[in-house]
């Protein structure tokens, strides 16, 4: 059964669903015989939920496939990323409130540092601060292209988005980041004739930009990636009849949520309890809350096992404020695994905890961890099952057939 | 691999398969920390089979989807209910031996009670007894429609079936039951122009019927639902080369079995041991027996936990008579879950026990219950796997490829 097949089954309801995503949650032991990050963390609240609920292992995309955050989130939201690929450019643009309509082409831009020969010496422009990078983006707004509207907006640190709007543009363009230092950024290359116009325009824009930033100490070069147009995804309202909200600090996750029609709620601070407070403030306005915790992934990417453990413990410590809202369904999981041991995303399935006091069939597990999830009652399942499970446990799906 | 792909692999054989379906078997604990209906029931015979066999969890349709009994049974029989939806009218008609051929339109009828304004005050006609309702159906046989053959037959209590036979009829008709009291039954409404003729005929029939029953104290109104024609399903003989028989007390399940070409065996009484006795009496005539136990579902629907437990215990107590027949493969499962806690069908997977002394690979579980099935060796699988498993364990499938 496909997600679209749920539509005729949707039932009205007032039960609330919370999807708490700790980015890159899944981990690995650093040493043989050791524990994972989640198993190491002291998580009395999650363990209580595990004992009352049911555990399983979620496969983000397909066995053995390491997902990016974009496709992994789409899966969690019930959108098959194999049939609806969403470019990074669009995710970033949506995350910073830059509209991308059908036919517009968005790209994610990175500032980089070039030497006097135009060769990349730092792909992230010395991780230039947002304070320094934002004014450079302002200067780039001066660039005009013939017959085309250009919008550029700073995202965070060395990252920005640029969107071209006009007739006859195609997103079939290759990334310009050579993905290594010691070589010059590539030209924007069209994958087919239909994309020649867009390639020429982006190349023109880059040439103009290079003139403007040529004297910047760090950010004197540019790479573009993830060229994409609006994928026209269905919304949570259409798909699930849910009023859905997103609480996330990072633009890309806000972008992914907005792509499926979620409202964005801005927390007052950056801690897990600030994010939970933001949910509490708007509890009556929505049926579904997606909460995103970024730092589990960041520490995983840095290979910082203890840092990741600490973030998980902070989330656990803040959980009582979320539970005090009495959600009907609470799902705690990740979008993918980011084991500190591997310093990056991985293909390992993601620990999944489903708690729903009125409807859950508990298993025998009493702790939230990778190995308890391996024994959990839900087995191994695809992330595309996440939304059907959430809706079912919120009693928001009618019976199929007589 | 699809079910049709089994055909070239079918092997002759004489091993016998028994599929024992306890309707709505899967359950939930009523209280945190409690046991399910199946876990609570004292089932020494099933536990012995569990210890010798292998357990798993079966998904009737798709994750999160609560199935009706019709689609759930089709899945168990190896027919994908997403591609072959069968209307309730056809299931009911087949269950009471009323033929529905291609182009005939069957509907399930309910008697209801109308007040003097024609508004429904009881959707089930006070649950009128079969003894009282059957003669009313007899009277309705007097209704003639121009150029059309009409067959009406009483089913049980307030339920009957009516079948129209003639040229140019389409089943694309909406149910007339408004699904609440305080409003009149709806007219039969055609979903498209091709169904106008059938809509008019059914509406004529209802008007005539209302004249005949207008003075009935309880059954003075009629609603129709589940309009459908013969879906033309393949038979067990074609699909599996099995001589198959059904032992079921309720018309709808007999109807589902007949749709896939099973013979119907009528037990002499209504207890599980009566049903098993009916199998024993015809043991030599068939390769496959489908046995349906209804009351597990009925008690689940009523929220009667203890009642459901008791039915399971009755089935267990009767099992030795079934085992005395020495089936080669015995599968004990449900068509879906009906937890007493939820008073209705649910989406939770169904406990599944496969016992086949000559061929089973046993797991470590020793009791038949939801949580032992969660740990069972078969994992979670779809109901469409039921028939391939049954055939394989009966050594009725040849090797695929060299």
Task: Write the CA distances from A169 to A102, A197, A220, A373, B163, integer angstroms.
Answer: 10, 6, 27, 47, 58
- Tokens representing residue A117 in the block: 């020969």
The residue ranges of chain B whose pLDDT is under 50 are none
B272-281 helix and B305-323 helix, angle to the nearest 10 degrees: 20
- Tokens representing residue B252 in the block: 């709808």
Q: How many CB pairs under 8 A join A and B?
A: 90
- In chain B, the percentage of residues whose pLDDT exceeds 70 is 100
How many CB atoms sit inside 10 A of residue A183's CB? 11
Q: Of A369, A364, A372, A379, which is closest to residue B372 (Cα–Cα)?
A: A364
Nearest-CA distance from A375 to chain B in Å? 7
Question: How many Å apart are CA A272 and CA B207, to the nearest integer?
Answer: 65
Beta-sheet pairing, A173-174 with A189-190: antiparallel
Whether A385 and B63 lie within 8 Å, measured CB to CB: yes
Give the pLDDT mean for A130-137. 96
Interface of A with B (CB under 8 A): 1, 5, 9, 52, 357, 359-364, 375-381, 385, 387-392, 397-402
List of chain B residues whose C-beta atoms are within 8 Å of the C-beta of residue A357:
32
pLDDT tens-place string over residues B181-224? 999 999 999 999 999 999 999 999 999 999 999 999 999 999 99
Question: How many Å apart are CA A295 and CA A309, to the nearest integer?
Answer: 10
Contact A176, A227 (CB under 8 A): no
List of chain A residues whose C-beta atoms are within 8 Å of the C-beta of residue B72:
401
**A70 pLDDT above the threshold of 90:** no
List of chain A residues whose C-beta atoms are within 8 Å of the C-beta of residue B87:
402
Give the model's pLDDT for residue A139: 97
CA within 13 Å, CB half, B24: 29
In this prediction, residue A82 has a pLDDT band, given cuts at 50, 70 and 90, of confident
Contact A239, A3 (CB under 8 A): yes
Give the model's pLDDT for residue B76: 97
H/E element holding B206? helix B196-213
Whether A361 and B347 lie within 8 Å, measured CB to CB: no
pLDDT tens-place string over residues A254-309? 989 999 999 999 999 999 999 999 999 999 999 999 999 999 999 999 999 999 99
List of chain B residues whose C-beta atoms are within 8 Å of the C-beta of residue A17:
none
Return the DSSP state at B364. S
pLDDT tens-place string over residues A343-394? 999 999 999 999 999 999 999 999 999 999 999 999 999 999 999 999 999 9
Residue in chain A closest to B225 (alpha carbons) equals: A402
Mutation for testing the A interface, residue in B231, B256, B374 having most A CBs under 10 Å: B374
H/E element holding A278? helix A272-281
pLDDT tens-place string over residues A12-64? 999 999 999 999 999 999 999 999 999 999 999 999 999 999 999 999 999 99
Question: How many Å apart are CA B47 and CA B197, to the nearest integer?
Answer: 56
List of chain B residues whose C-beta atoms are within 8 Å of the C-beta of residue A5:
62, 82
List of chain B residues whose C-beta atoms are within 8 Å of the C-beta of residue A388:
62-65
Query: Who among A379, A398, A401 is closest to B85 (CB)?
Result: A401
Q: What's the ipTM?
A: 0.85
**A103 pLDDT above the threshold of 70:** yes
Residue in chain A closest to B348 (alpha carbons) equals: A361
Strand-pairing partners, residue A107, are A162
Question: How many Å apart are CA B268 and CA A252, to the nearest integer?
Answer: 67
List of chain B residues whose C-beta atoms are within 8 Å of the C-beta of residue A399:
66-68, 344-345
> How deeply is B143 buried, as exposed, middle or buried, from its count of CB atoms within 10 A (0-12, 13-18, 19+)?
middle
| B279-285 CB contacts, 8 Å cutoff, 24+ apart | B279/B18, B279/B245, B279/B247, B279/B322, B279/B325, B280/B321, B280/B322, B280/B324, B280/B325, B282/B245, B283/B16, B283/B325, B285/B243, B285/B245
- Tokens representing residue A282 in the block: 């708007």
Give the model's pLDDT for residue B94: 81
Nearest-CA distance from B91 to chain A in Å? 10
Interface of B with A (CB under 8 A): 26, 28-29, 32, 36, 57, 61-72, 81-82, 85, 87-88, 91, 225-226, 339, 342, 344-348, 370-371, 374-375, 379-380
Query: Who among A361, A375, A399 is closest to B348 (CB)?
Result: A361
Q: Report the Cα–Cα distance between both ends of chain A, in Å, rounded.
A: 17
Whether B70 and A398 lie within 8 Å, measured CB to CB: no
In this prediction, residue A174 has a pLDDT band, given cuts at 50, 70 and 90, of very high
Nearest-CA distance from A82 to chain B in Å? 20
Query: Who among A359, A380, A400 is closest to B65 (CB)?
Result: A400
Query: Who among B26, B32, B81 is closest to A401 (CB)?
Result: B81
- Tokens representing residue A96 in the block: 């910073």
Mean pLDDT across chain A, nearest whole number?
95
Nearest-CA distance from B371 to chain A in Å? 6
List of chain B residues whose C-beta atoms are within 8 Å of the C-beta of residue A376:
374
**A402 pLDDT above the threshold of 70:** no
**A250 pLDDT above the threshold of 70:** yes
List of chain B residues whose C-beta atoms are within 8 Å of the C-beta of residue A78:
none
Give the model's pLDDT for residue A212: 97
H/E element holding A222? strand A221-228
H/E element holding A244? strand A244-247
- Tokens representing residue A157 in the block: 């640190």
């Amino acid at each position: 059964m496909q997600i679209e097949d749920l539509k005729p089954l949707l039932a009205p309801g007032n039960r609330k669903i919370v999807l708490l995503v700790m980015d890159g949650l899944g981990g690995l032991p650093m040493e043989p015989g050791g524990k994972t990050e989640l198993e190491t963390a002291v998580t009395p609240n999650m363990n209580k939920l595990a004992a009352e609920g049911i555990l399983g292992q979620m496969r983000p995309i397909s066995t053995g496939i390491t997902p990016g955050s974009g496709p992994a989130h789409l899966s969690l939201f019930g959108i098959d990323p194999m049939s609806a690929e969403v470019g990074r450019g669009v995710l970033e643009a949506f995350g910073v409130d830059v509209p991308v309509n059908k036919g517009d082409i968005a790209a994610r831009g990175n500032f980089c540092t070039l030497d006097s020969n135009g060769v990349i010496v730092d792909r992230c422009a010395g991780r230039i601060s947002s304070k320094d990078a934002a004014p450079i983006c302002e200067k780039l707004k001066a660039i005009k292209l013939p017959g085309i509207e250009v919008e550029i907006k700073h995202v965070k640190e060395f990252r920005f988005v640029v969107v071209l709007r006009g007739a006859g543009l195609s997103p079939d363009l290759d990334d310009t980041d050579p993905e290594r230092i010691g070589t010059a950024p590539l030209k924007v290359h069209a994958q087919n004739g239909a994309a020649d116009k867009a390639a020429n325009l982006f190349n023109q824009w880059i040439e103009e930009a290079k003139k403007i930033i040529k004297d910047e100490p760090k950010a004197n070069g540019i790479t573009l990636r993830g060229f994409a147009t609006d994928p026209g995804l269905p919304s949570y309202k259409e798909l699930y009849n849910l009023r859905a909200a997103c609480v996330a600090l990072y633009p890309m996750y806000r972008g992914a949520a907005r792509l499926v029609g979620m409202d964005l709620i801005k927390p007052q601070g950056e801690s897990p309890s600030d994010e939970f407070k933001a949910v509490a403030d708007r509890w009556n306005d929505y049926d579904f809350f997606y909460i995103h915790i970024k730092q589990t992934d960041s520490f995983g990417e840095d290979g910082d096992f203890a840092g990741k453990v600490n973030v998980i413990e902070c989330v656990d410590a803040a959980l009582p404020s979320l539970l005090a809202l009495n959600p009907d369904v609470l799902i705690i999981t990740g979008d993918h695994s980011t084991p500190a041991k591997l310093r990056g995303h991985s293909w390992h399935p993601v620990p999944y905890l489903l708690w729903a006091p009125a409807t859950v069939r508990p298993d025998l597990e009493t702790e939230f961890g990778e190995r308890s999830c391996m024994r959990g009652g839900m087995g191994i399942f695809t992330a595309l099952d996440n939304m059907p499970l959430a809706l079912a446990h919120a009693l928001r799906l009618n019976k199929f057939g007589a």
